[in-house]
Structure 1
Amino acid sequence: MFIRAYLRASTSEQDASRARGALDVFAAERGLRIAARYMENESGAKLDRPELFRLLADSEPGDVLLVEQVDRLSRLSSADWIRLRAEIDAKQVRIVALDLPTSWGLATPVDDFSARMFAAVNSMMLDVLAAVARKDYEDRRRRQAEGTARAKAAGLYKGRPENKARNAAIATMLRDGRSWREIMDATGCSRTLLAKLTRDLKLGKSGVPE
């Protein structure tokens, strides 16, 4: 059994590694070692998350997918959550979340009966928390949209400012021939932002002198 930690942040400005310490402590308290960590800056409302699916591809039956909170794994719609759960179940991966105490028993070897009981309870609780996470996501999006509409109506909306220093550094790394994986690991940027900056660089819009 391998413990594979999944760390996710929603935007390129956020630190995907923020929860690493908490996951390390959780594992150490149980005498476990995290075999690999998978970090990405992608929305939990998207099913297309390369690092999450790389984790699943690397996993063997019985491995543990360790997350800080269930919403780090999913803010998906019901249909997409069912698809992700089917993928996880097909790989026979155990989901352990720090905010889901019923899952903690899956992180250590137990007898077959206990394992089945833990799995059954955990499956139900996962579905509940995934639904709650989705509702929280939709509520926040609705409130943000309402706030933006009010700000625009009042002539106060300016949009999110560009992180020019970070984007210039990324453009420089692209010019130096660094791989996307190296750049994402070094800067914490998302694949979507990196694709945009790569496209801008090709069009001469990077803001970095040739």
Structure 2
Amino acid sequence: MSLLIGYGRVSTIGQDLAQQRVLLTEAGCTRIFEEKASGAKRDRPELARMIDHLRPGDTVLVTRLDRLARSTIDLLNTAERLREAGAGLKSLAEPWADTTTPAGKMVMTVFAGIADFERSLILDRTSAGRAAAKARGVRFGPPPSLTLEQIAHARQLIGEESKPVSTVARLLGVHRSTLYRALQD
């Protein structure tokens, strides 16, 4: 027996889930998972509990898609998780977002294609930007922990004065492994 499962979310503790609860109950949800958490948070325990609770044939109902996901990518990822659980997705405010129908599946497929295209464009722009920055001499990553002078001094202390690496690392304020890496370069 397939069930209609509701998911309601508000962003802050001060907001109230009552309106979503009423709409989801009136729509026939037999169980409603509720959450007071920002949609930007990756860790949403009630969403995870709901997905774990789903059985093949169930349908997740939300009042609006922005209650389920914060972005198109997040929506598509969540919709995929629901599909993997064998469940569908419906939105009361966006009737086109109904993966239980062929038209709704098509719309989600088109969104997935657009999101994938957008990801590809972002990767291409990022790669081009990084390459241009490297060509201008920009260094990526954190700044080096040790200056060239400090490395030369460390070599002298270790090689000529036979100081232990751990003592020199402590003197320079870095971990032994950092000093070993700097000495290898």
Structure 2 CA distance for aligned equivalents of residues 2 and 34 of structure 1: 7
Note if 1:93 corresponds to 2:87.
Answer: yes
Pick the structure with greater CA Rg: 2
User: For residue 3 of structure 1, what is the aligned residue in structure 2?
Assistant: 4
Q: Letter of the 1:35 partner, please give it.
A: T
* Contact kept? 1:17, 1:39, Cα under 8 Å: no
Note if 1:42 corresponds to 2:27.
Answer: no
Structure 1 CA distance for aligned equivalents of residues 103 and 49 of structure 2: 26
Listed as ranges, the matches of 1:82-121 within 5 Å are 82-103=76-97, 106=100, 115=101, 117-121=102-106
Query: What SS does the aligned partner of 2:55 have?
Result: coil
- Aligned pairs, number: 113
RMSD value over aligned CA atoms? Answer: 2.7
Structure 2 CA distance for aligned equivalents of residues 127 and 70 of structure 1: 15
Q: TM-score, normalised by structure 1?
A: 0.47
1:126–1:4: structure 2 CA closer, same or farther, 3 Å change rule? Answer: farther
Relative contact order, higher structure (CA 8 A, sep 6+):
1
Listed as ranges, the matches of 1:1-210 within 5 Å are 1-25=2-26, 27=27, 33-76=28-71, 78=73, 80-103=74-97, 106=100, 115=101, 117-124=102-109
Q: TM-score, normalised by structure 2?
A: 0.52
Q: Letter of the 1:44 partner, please give it.
A: G
Extract unaligned runs of 5+ from structure 2. 116-185
Query: What SS does the aligned partner of 1:34 have?
Result: coil
Query: What SS does the aligned partner of 1:92 have?
Result: coil
Structure 2 CA distance for aligned equivalents of residues 40 and 55 of structure 1: 11
Residue by residue over 1:82-121, the C-alpha shift from the partner in whole angstroms, topping out at 9 and shown as x without a partner, is 5433322211211110111124583xxxxxxxx4x13423
Extract unaligned runs of 5+ from structure 1. 28-32, 107-114, 131-210
Offset at residue 22 of structure 1 (A)? 1.9
